[in-house]
Each structure stands twice: as structure tokens, then as C-alpha cells.
Structure 1
């Protein structure tokens, strides 16, 4: 009986010729420094010491536990591209371009007028009129305004400021939380801003991604606390923006505040709820609790919207 991976013709006086264990038709003078089996160049991979065959490389990869981030997301050796942040920026820019083309104006894409007799508003951009946040319209069933308003902007400067902030803040937050969790926090922050406007602002129209961006600021503050780093820099940025929101007319303070609270609460649910509920070292349980926490924050936010809708419908006699 011959050993697998070794060849030779018995009785011809020549020594056995080693052959690749994966390709028996290939003679080779090389071998795996880990298992010692002969292997051809195609079946060897360079290692810190010598060369390992593909079977040993695969076995080693199975034995290595994946590195996890603070939120339970997988961490890779290379810095991933913030695709979600770029996609959100692209959607905001695309929506702005549509409204600008419809309104035939770059700076006044959200222009319109209100009928003094009926109180109905007409916008030069149909999309802007369909998506802009108006509490009374939401109460009458235009639910898309709760989300769509977060992708509208009043003019080019409004868009540029928000997209710059999203570019600066969103990339690192996406890297730390992971793409799916980051998008969830962004969506909850956007919804939180809309819920706050519904609850605390009367009539008028609100639009912009700033509620969601404030939520990302809140998320960064919670992340820094979890990493045991000083949140003072981001808290300073939040304080400056809150002062601006209060001081300047035409800025929705409640939209910003609601997004901030919702984003911070959602991130706390991801990072702290598993610890508080005793997940310990059970990674699967921690991830499950995190997502349940996100769902709970979402339900609370929708509950605020629902209660306000009931109040407004009562005022309208519906």
C-alpha cells in the first residue's frame, strides 16, 4: 500500500516522487510547513513562517473568531467604505434636483402659496407639496410626509449645510455601528424629528435632513460614552447647533430636538440595553436585545405620532 500524495514506479530503482495531495498528477518538491503534506504552488499560500496549504489556511480561518465592534457588528481588517452615508447623501441630492427642476428654481424649490379662503397650500414643486411635513395633513392620512420631509430641503444652501454635516458625522458613525444599525438609527432619528414637530409645533411646513443629522450627533455622544471617551467635543457641537436653532427664525427647534433624543435613545438601546438585560458574553443574545431595543424606540416614536394624530383629528372634527 502506498501513502496518499506520493508516487513512483515500484521496482524501477528510482525514489518515490512526491506529488500534490490535491493534484496527484503534479510532481512537487514543496510541502506545507504546517501539516507536512506535499503541495504544488497553486495549493500553497504564503504564511508568517513558510507556506501553508489551502486546507490548513481554511482550517485556521474557521478557528479564528470574528472581531466584533462595540455594537456587535463585524469588523474587517480594511476600513470599509461608508456606502450607506453616501447613499443617503445621494438620495437627498436627487430629491432636491427633482424639486428644483419642478419649481424651475435652484434657491426657491420649496416656494408656494396658501389659499387664504381654504387654507390649502400649493407648491411650485408637486413633490415638495406631497412630502413636506404638515401636521394637519398627516392627521388626514398623508403618512408619507413623516419620512419624505426628511429628504426635502429649502434651497441649495440648506441642502449643502446638511449634506456637509452628514458627510462629516455619518462616516465614522456608520463605521462604528455597522451599516444596518447605522441606517436604523438614522431612520429612527428622522422619524423622531417628525414626531416632535407633530407633538410640539402647530401649523406651518417643515423639511430637511437636520432632524436625522441631530440624531447622528446624539448617537456619537452615546458611542463615546460607551468607549469611555470624553463626549465633550460632540456635546459642544450639539450645544452650538441648539443655540442656532433657538436663535434664528425659520429653523425647527423641535425637529432638531426630537431627532437628537431619538438618535441617542436608539443608540443607547443598541449599546447599553444588552448589558443592562444581562446578555453577558452571549453575542447572539446581545444582538437580539439590541434590535429589540431599536424596535421599542420606534414604537414609542410612532406612539407619539399616533396620539398627536388623534388630537388633531379631533380638532378637525374627523
Structure 2
């Protein structure tokens, strides 16, 4: 049985979408849609109806999640890639830096000297490990995925909400790793945060009535990579992937929840706080068990 294909965005024909501009009725993707008083509008209609082109903050164009539309809708993604690259180079330039940043539950011996972990109060490892890579193929694969998945998602959410999603997804993945992994097992990489972006993309695609097959295929490939053993002594942390994926999906449900005005902001902030507290609770439980 044939299914009807969704129209492509008038500015990005390769992106199928179920949303149309409320004024001109042209199909628009998340990067192009701007929240208006009624529905969503395309950039041309917003500019044409703004008069001066400098609307006050209260009436400024908004993203799907209510964030301000930025001139560069992928700036945060570029900055995150830059930070990951900088930490990667720093780990090569500074001996022992990677050991101080990686996710480690309890101390180990490093060249005869003890290295402390999260259980002794080094909670920074839960986030610094998200920006740490020590192999070129590892950072290359993660940064390509971040660019492909993160760019459109940032355009749909806005900068601050997207950044909160990335950091909290990374934290959620790290918390599950800390809870379920042997405390002397070092873990690192941005894949937990990126899986969070993928989980949010699934929620976004569902919300916009996109064709789900490409998203589900990507999700299936991620799960395949997660649970199929790698050679060369390397293994994928399924805890980080699943923890990030679930965290990102939960956050997206709150960030994209339909709600008017200030209520939407409260729902979004409440979701972020609730997810943070859940991750913190997992960390506290594991720390209590180890100490």
C-alpha cells in the first residue's frame, strides 16, 4: 500500500515536513519555522510583517520550543565541536590530563600514583568526560554525528534550550555509567550527549509528523553500534548511550510540550530541573554505595 509523501520545505527541499506557514501556506522545516501569535510563519512572512525589521524582545521571532531565533542557528553546535576539539588537543599536549578528566568512579593507580574519582568528590568528571576523546576516529565520528543531528535540533529549540539538552543528556549518560559500571573503569566521549540529541530528534519528528523511517533507522544503527562488541580492545559504553538517549527524550517531551506563554517556560524549566535532580540522585546513591 502506497503512502503519501510529505512536502519538502520550500527553503530546504530535501527536508520533508508536515508544518506550513500560517500566512503563505508554504511548507517549512524546524530551521525555518518561527513561532507567531497564531501558528508558525516562514522567515519571509515575518520580515514582511515586521515593518522595521527590529521587533521588540516580547514580539521577536521564536523557535518551535519558544527560544529566540538566532542569526546563526547552529552557533552552539559549532562551539561544542570547537570545545571537544580543544580538549582533544589539550589531552595530547598535557601528560596526565585525560586521566584527570575521564569518568572514573573510584581511584586507580596511574604510573604508581593514586588517582581519585567521583566517589571522593571529583564530580566534575561527570561532565568533563563528555568533552574528552583520546583517539582521532572517536572524536571524528562523534563530531560528525553532533553536526548532523545537533544542527537542525538547535534551530528547532533555540540556543539555551539546546545547550541545556546537550549538557543534561551528557550528565544523564554519565550518571548511568557511574551507577552501573565497575568504579575503576575509565569512560569518556560525547556519545552519551549525542544520543540524547537523537532521543530528542525522535520526539521532535513525532511532534512535527515527520516521516519516521529515517529517524528510526538512525536510532536502530545507534543501538546496533551500542550492543555489538568492537575489536581492538575498545568497547562502547551502553550505559552512556542508553542513559543519554532516555534523558534526551524526556527533556524533549518537556521542551516541546504545547503550552501557552509563561506556562511553557515553567514546564521547560521544571523538566530540566527534574532531570537534573534524577541524575544527581543516581550519583548520590552510587557514591553512598562506594563510600
TM-score normalized with structure 1 length: 0.67
Tell whether the 8 Å contact from 2:91 to 2:134 is kept in structure 1 after alignment: no
- Separation in 2 of the partners of 1:215 and 1:256? 8
The answer to whether the aligner puts 1:252 opposite 2:237 as a matched pair is yes
Please list every run of 5 or more consecutive structure 1 residues that lacks an aligned counterpart in the other structure: 1-46, 49-55, 103-124, 314-318
Structure with larger Rg: 1
The structure whose RCO (Cα within 8 Å, separation 6+) is larger is 2
- Separation in 2 of the partners of 1:129 and 1:238? 31
Q: Deviations over 1:74-127 (max 9, x none)?
A: 346xx634110011000000011011123xxxxxxxxxxxxxxxxxxxxxx321
Describe the shift of the 1:100–1:66 C-alpha distance in structure 2 as closer, same or farther (beyond 3 A). same
Aligned to 2:131: 151
Cα distance, 1:199 vs structure 2: 1.4
The answer to whether the aligner puts 1:283 opposite 2:265 as a matched pair is no
Q: Choose the corresponding residue for 1:267, options 243, 246, 252.
A: 252
Tell whether the 8 Å contact from 2:192 to 2:240 is kept in structure 1 after alignment: yes
| Segments ≥4 residues shifted beyond 4 Å | 56-62
The answer to whether the aligner puts 1:164 opposite 2:144 as a matched pair is yes
Cα distance, 1:142 vs structure 2: 1.1
Q: Deviations over 1:31-85 (max 9, x none)?
A: xxxxxxxxxxxxxxxx98xxxxxxx9569956x9444332112346xx6341100
The answer to whether the aligner puts 1:71 opposite 2:71 as a matched pair is no
Aligned to 1:99: 91
Q: Deviations over 1:190-248 (max 9, x none)?
A: 00110110111113110000100000100111111111223331221121121112112
Cα distance, 1:288 vs structure 2: 2.3
Aligned to 2:273: 295
Describe the shift of the 1:305–1:93 C-alpha distance in structure 2 as closer, same or farther (beyond 3 A). same
- Separation in 1 of the partners of 2:142 and 2:177? 18
Q: CA RMSD in A?
A: 2.3
SS at match of 1:135: coil
Aligned to 1:141: 121
TM-score normalized with structure 2 length: 0.73
- Separation in 2 of the partners of 1:57 and 1:155? 52
Q: Choose the corresponding residue for 1:214, options 195, 198, 203.
A: 195
Cα distance, 1:177 vs structure 2: 0.4
Describe the shift of the 1:232–1:296 C-alpha distance in structure 2 as closer, same or farther (beyond 3 A). same
Aligned to 2:185: 204
